[in-house]
Structure 1
Amino acid sequence: MDLLDWYVIGAYFILLLLFGYFIGQENRDQDDYYVADRKLSWWAVGISTMATQSSAISFISIPAFVAVKEGGGLTWLQYELALPLAMIVTSIFLIPLFRKLKLVSVYEYLQLRYGTGVRNTVAVLFLLSRALGTGIALYATAIVMQSITGFELWISILTMGLIILIYDTLGGMRAVVYSDIFQMGLLLLGVIVSIAIAVDLLGGFGAIVDTFPKARLQTLDFGWGLGSDGGMPFWAFLFGGFFLYTAYYGTDQSQVQRELSARSIEDAKRSLYFNGFARFPLTLLYVLMGITVGTLYLQDSALQASVAASSPDHLIPQFILAYLPGGVKGLLIAAILAAAMSSIDSALNSLSAVTLHDFVLKEKHTQGAREIRLSQITTLFWGIAVILFALMVGVIADTVIEAINKIGSAFYGPVLAVFLAGALHRHIGSSAILTGLVGGVGVNLFLWLFHPEVMWMWWNVTGFVVAYSGAWMLSMSRFKTSKKGADYTAGHTVALKWTGMDTLLACYFLMMLIALWLIDEGWADL
């Protein structure tokens, strides 16, 4: 890389650190540090939420999946179909309830509804899975940065990890959200620049139509993912994706904490609606980058030689190194870093929030500066833990990186059942819901170990169905309703309200489905 590229990357890092320091001066207590005193606008929360989803893995892996990965192509778009439907359920059933209770940790609700045992169990599941996933994200991004910069892997991990840790520890949720907005802009700029340069090098879109493999342009794969069909089965991603997204946006602290930071219930719901509409176009941009860079890859033997068949994720980094001019190259590398940081910073803040509110303080409250110190110390602890895990993960990388998505799906469905059952059924008590939770996770682990032909996306469905139905039936037959649970649910319900935006999201889902079908038919006719 040129000296100018290093200046661009260095300036980006310095700006982030200064930003975290100055915005951290506004924090006065835990509400400031973890939920920005509940004063963030809907658009800031919405963009930050989308930035977290648009990680470095998305920036790198989606184009690679579309362009070069075996069995890949436009079928990735099926992954997005269930998102609008999940936003409807989350905005109607979950977010209004959490906002009414003025929570900092979403797992505080489980204490109020079921008691300490359920709260601690679900909070521990979150801490373990989120810390593991964050360490993997840091490690995977560092591997890509190593291929670009030539630095040792441990240097890349430490550099990115320490910068994120410093500005996140100093700034809290405001630093997370507003840095995410900047990083989202940088990410979009990086995608657009990559597409424009690739199209210019190809001499226009005509070369794409003539060169890019038609088999990779298939958008719909009507498989079930229950046998040997493999690939990206439509029905598994539709049904499994619905439960996965509902659980992620509605019960995962790293996401819900943003909605808890909005000014009102209405603003929190607007941020979800924004994601329901905006994420599909963003994914289309990633896909277009994969098509354009992939076409260039097919015409350039040098680029092909630099991307091993076993490492398709190196396609975009190698494209950046080979074709982008000085300065722009540094900007695109900064975009990759931005994408990584927007996921990791929010995870650290949420890990800190859950640790402090669900285990350290619970019902106790400290004041002012002491609250901030405790929050910063907890964030520092998790940041160091994640960095250490990322440094050690190379020993088990082949198994963990392959398994990390499965880990989430093993738990998301049962956890969603815990929250929805608590909100909708006052007769379900803590013993029944814990039994259902264990049963749902147990069934998923059984499928993982003994029935690998069942695609992991289905675990989001099986875990939810087993946990929810099991808890409901046990409460009706064997377990007595706890008076606390019944009284609490009766006094903490929200009016279920279907709005015009929910109707638009449902129509948007149908439009997405029709659009994918039309793309399929259009390419088939060429």
Structure 2
Amino acid sequence: MNEVAEQFSLIDWGVVFGYMILTTLIGHALRGQQATIKDFFLGGKSLPWMAVSGSIIATEISALTFIGVPGGVYALSGDWTYLQWGIGSIIARFIVGYYLVPIYYEKEIFSPYDFMGGRLGEGVKKLVTILFSLGSILGQSVRVLVTAIILRAVTGFDMTSCILVIGLFAVVWTLMGGMRTVIWTDVMQFGVFIIGGFIAFVWLWSVCGWANVIELNSTVQVGDETINKMRVFDFTTDPAVSFTFWVAIIAMPFQNLAAFGTDQLNAQRIFCCATKEDAKKAIVWSSFSQVITLLMLSVGAGLFAWYQLHPPSEAEAKLFAEDSNYVFPTWIVTVLPTGLKGLIVAGAFAAAVSSLDSILAALSQTSLSAFYGQKYLEEHGNDSSMVKKSRILVVIWAIFLSGMSIFLSHNYLAEGSDKNLIGLAFRMVSYTYGPILAILVIALNARRIPWSFAGIVVGTVLSVAASAYVQEDVYNLFKALGFEGLSELRHKRPEISFAWFYPITTFLTLFTSIGVALLFPATRKKVS
């Protein structure tokens, strides 16, 4: 690691610090007024849809795609099948844009949870806020971890120090100007990401030769099998495999409906638009993110070819064998010229900070709304004390998120741990997305179907428990805490991909709520 870090010069560090200072100054200049919580959380509902769309893409892509996707392709059995998931993603964005956005814009709300609470009551609103908070801490901690990997590669610092630096910058950016600063700094990171990815793509494919890259990736020997690392479609029906066509068209629309229709991280951006027409355009045009995914898959193929033609040093080869996520950061630091490597690292770092400050703003808003209630916020939204409380919540949530990232990093660095960061990030939110999406469906149909708050709670608990039983995270926690016996129970669980739990837990929560309402009529709720 130190061998790589030594090649990151003082000039590169100057570029990193200069870029961060410039981004901070621009964010400060564009912050606007922050007198009310509407200003702080929604940017005064006056932001252009193109900026909002770019912000959605920047948050979605983040350093996770920038580092995790090329690393996944470089891995011996890696390929382009991750691109299939874009099918479900695009389908969901159109549904959110053309169906959910008009509904959300009927009333002055700050989040989808305000809508659910208005239809189903404050108890449901508090429940979905808890679910969102849990999913956000789990999911965003992976994105922080990814950038900590980049910083660790270029600095040689320990993972904990890198995470704390990211958290500090995120707090400063969020407190500085609320969502207006968050969105405009996201747009800057979006631009740097595209430039950095494009430079890497052109450099790798032109130096290695287009024909060489394609040939070297098309005939890779893995054991007795020859694989094509650039294949896109996988029609495997094995439920344990995540990146398949069937997952893409069946499971991933559920994941993306939850991500863009119920997750405040993305929904908060939609609410920053002046009109529902602008919000619709922002979410639909954010489908452009799939082009960036394709770009980073191409970078991964280029990296595989590069290191076939230019074998890594002994230290680098050992590092890549342990964790392929270090491949792209190492290539950036050891191959690109001084200054340019600093700019790309700065962009990746800033992108992680922008993802983190986005979730801090979302967590602060939903916590405030859940505690005080929508009516109170409407009546006291112009009170400056509410903005002060929002800022305090930002700091509190930053501490929680940084702590979770540090815990996750210890598990990630453990020998034999799962190094697939893309899968890890999506798996983290699979615990909560299904129940939240089911609650949204109930809210949308509250006058047509029987439902029960008790049933929603029971369905949510069953869904989270089912996810925890099948997935490996709880067993890793048992192992970390020294409960080896409980950890060994992982070998008795059924093998099914986390991706299928998006639809499974959606239907489990939905049907449990309906079932309890029918079996115990006294618990049924009606909407007037």
d(CA) in 2 for partners of 1:305, 1:75: 30
Contact 1:17–1:163, Cα closer than 8 Å, also in 2: no
Return the offset for 1:328: 0.6
Please say if residues 236 and 457 of structure 1, whose CA atoms lie closer than 8 Å, have aligned partners that are also in contact: yes
Deviations 1:71-100 (A, max 9, x none): 211111112121121113222432222221
Which AA in structure 2 matches 1:453? E
- Which residues of 2 match residues 90-109 of structure 1 at below 5 A? 90-109=96-115
Is 1:206 aligned to residue 211 of structure 2? yes
- 2:465 corresponds to 1:459: no
Alignment deviations for residues 6-58 of structure 1 (CA, whole Å, 9 cap, x no partner)? 12111111123223433345212000000111111211111100110111111
User: How far apart, CA to CA, are the structure 2 residues paired with 1:369 and 1:52?
Assistant: 28
C-alpha separation between the residues in 2 aligned to 1:152 and 1:321?
18
The answer to whether the 8 Å contact 1:142/1:157 transfers is yes
Q: How far apart are residue 223 of structure 1 and its match?
A: 1.5
Distance 1:356 1:464 in 2: 26
Match of 1:31, as an amino acid? K
Q: Does 1:55 align with 2:67?
A: no
Matched, 1:440 2:463: yes
The letter of the residue matching 2:527 is A
2:51 is equivalent to residue 28 of structure 1: no
Taking the aligned partners of 1:373 and 1:440, their CA distance within structure 2 comes to: 36
Taking the TM superposition and a 5 Å limit, the aligned residue runs for 1:90-489 are 90-202=96-208, 204-214=209-219, 215-226=228-239, 230=241, 232-276=243-287, 278-302=288-312, 305-306=315-316, 307-360=319-372, 362-365=374-377, 366=380, 367-397=382-412, 398=414, 404-426=425-447, 427-429=449-451, 430-448=453-471, 451-476=493-518, 478-479=520-521, 485-487=526-528
In structure 2, how many angstroms separate the alpha carbons of the residues matched to 1:80 and 1:47?
Answer: 17
Match of 2:90 in 1: 84
Q: Do the aligned residues in 2 keep the contact of 1:440 with 1:465 (CA within 8 Å)?
A: no
Q: Unaligned 5+ residue runs, structure 2?
A: 1-7, 220-227, 472-489
Gaps of 5+ in 1: 488-526
Question: Does the aligned pair in 1 maintain the 2:135–2:433 contact within 8 Å?
Answer: no
Output the CA distance in 2 between the equivalents of 1:20 and 1:45.
15
Q: Which amino acid aligns with 2:169?
A: I
* Distance of aligned partners of 1:424 and 1:47 in 2 relative to their CA distance in 1, 3 Å threshold: same
Identity of aligned residues (%): 26
- In the alignment, is residue 14 of structure 1 matched against residue 21 of structure 2? yes
CA RMSD in angstroms comes to 2.3
The TM-score with structure 1 as length reference comes to 0.86
- TM-superposition CA deviations, 1:162-194 (whole Å, max 9, x none): 112101111100011110001100010000111
Tell me, in whole angstroms, the C-alpha distance in 2 between the residues paired with 1:35 and 1:433: 29
AA matched with 1:4: I
Separation in structure 2 between the aligned mates of residue 40 and residue 304 of structure 1, nearest angstrom: 50
Q: Partners in 1 of 2:458 and 2:250 — Cα distance?
A: 24
Answer yes or no: is the 8 Å Cα contact 2:517–2:524 preserved in 1: no
SS in 1 for 2:112: coil
Q: Which amino acid aligns with 1:386?
A: L
Q: Residue 497 of structure 1 corresponds to which residue in structure 2?
A: none
Q: Distance in 1 between matches of 2:140 and 2:406?
A: 12
Given the superposition, is the C-alpha separation of residues 44 and 231 from structure 1 closer, same or farther in structure 2, using an over 3 Å criterion?
A: closer
Offset at residue 158 of structure 1 (A): 2.4
* Aligned residue pairs, count: 481
In structure 1, the residue matched to 2:483 is: none
CA distance in 1, matches of 2:25, 2:521: 55
- Show the counterpart of 1:519: none
Asked if 2 retains the 8 angstrom alpha-carbon contact of 1:356 and 1:375, the reply is yes
Q: Show CA shifts across 1:333-381 (max 9, x none).
A: 1121133123212111101111111124653243343232222121122
- Tell which deviates more after alignment, 370-379 or 256-265: 370-379
Q: By how many angstroms is 1:420 displaced?
A: 1.3
Given the superposition, is the C-alpha separation of residues 361 and 381 from structure 1 closer, same or farther in structure 2, using an over 3 Å criterion?
farther
- Determine the C-alpha separation between the residues in 2 that align with 1:166 and 1:155: 17
- Mapped to 2, the partners of 1:361 and 1:11 lie a distance apart of 42
Q: In the alignment, is the contact (CA less than 8 A) between 1:71 and 1:231 conserved in 2?
A: no
Q: Contact 1:19 / 1:167 at 8 angstroms: preserved in 2? A: no
**For the residues of structure 2 that align with 1:460 and 1:391, how far apart are their CA atoms?**
27
One-letter amino acid of the structure 2 residue matched with residue 89 of structure 1? I
TM-score by length of 2: 0.85
2: CA distance between counterparts of 1:423 and 1:186? Answer: 39
From the superposition, tell whether residues 395 and 195 of structure 1 become closer, same or farther in structure 2 (CA, over 3 Å): closer
Q: CA deviation at 1:213?
A: 3.4
1:480 shift after superposition: 5.6
- Structure 2 counterpart of 1:494: none
Greater mean deviation of Cα atoms: 377-386 or 362-371: 362-371
> CA 1:435/1:101 → structure 2, altered by over 3 Å: closer, same or farther?
farther
